Homo-oligomer: A and B are copies of this chain.
Amino acid sequence: METKQATAIFLALSADLRLDLFRLLVKYAPDGLVAGEIAKYLKVSNTNLSFHLKALLHAGLITVEKEGRFLRYRANIPLMLETIAYLTAECCSGRPELCRDFRAASAVSAAVLPVCDSKK
């Protein structure tokens, strides 16, 4: 993943509303939701929702598909996995032993932490 794409993704995730939005779409994966449903769940105006949907689309974190007069949005989970892989690589940055040591010392359950191995 390129730096430019990574920063676009982080910018897209940097607002409460958009993070909630993405999570909502993950929750409703793989069917997704149409814009009106999202607006109801998040209690936000259609106009403002459009704005934030566009931000997430621009980053590629969600996709959109026309469905009659509705627009159906879905989370782009593969891109999220790529993003996680990118962050994992950044945090090791050629020194996986560091990452491993910190992970071993971490309070976070090992089960949810990424594999950060030199043979990457």
Q: In the bound complex, do residue B85 and residue A108 qualify as a contact, i.e. CB atoms below 8 Å apart?
A: yes
Query: Could you say how many copies of this chain the assembly holds?
Result: 2
Complex CA–CA separation, A11 to B112 (angstroms)? 23
Complex CA distance for A19 and B113, rounded to whole angstroms: 21
User: Which residue from chain B places its CB closest to the CB of A95 in the assembled complex?
Assistant: B29
A20 at the A/B interface (Cβ < 8 Å)? yes
Query: Interface residues of A toward B: which range?
Result: 35 or more
Q: Quick one: given A7-B15, A84-B113, are A78 and B102 in contact (CB under 8 Å)? A: yes
Instruction: Contact check, B27 vs A3: say whether CB atoms are below 8 A apart.
Output: no
| Chain A stretch 53-96: residues in CB contact (< 8 A) with chain B | 75, 77-78, 80-85, 87-95
Which residues does A use to contact B, with CB under 8 Å?
Answer: 3-4, 6-7, 10-11, 13-16, 19-20, 22-23, 26-27, 29-30, 75, 77-78, 80-85, 87-95, 98-99, 102-103, 105-106, 108-109, 111-117, 119-120
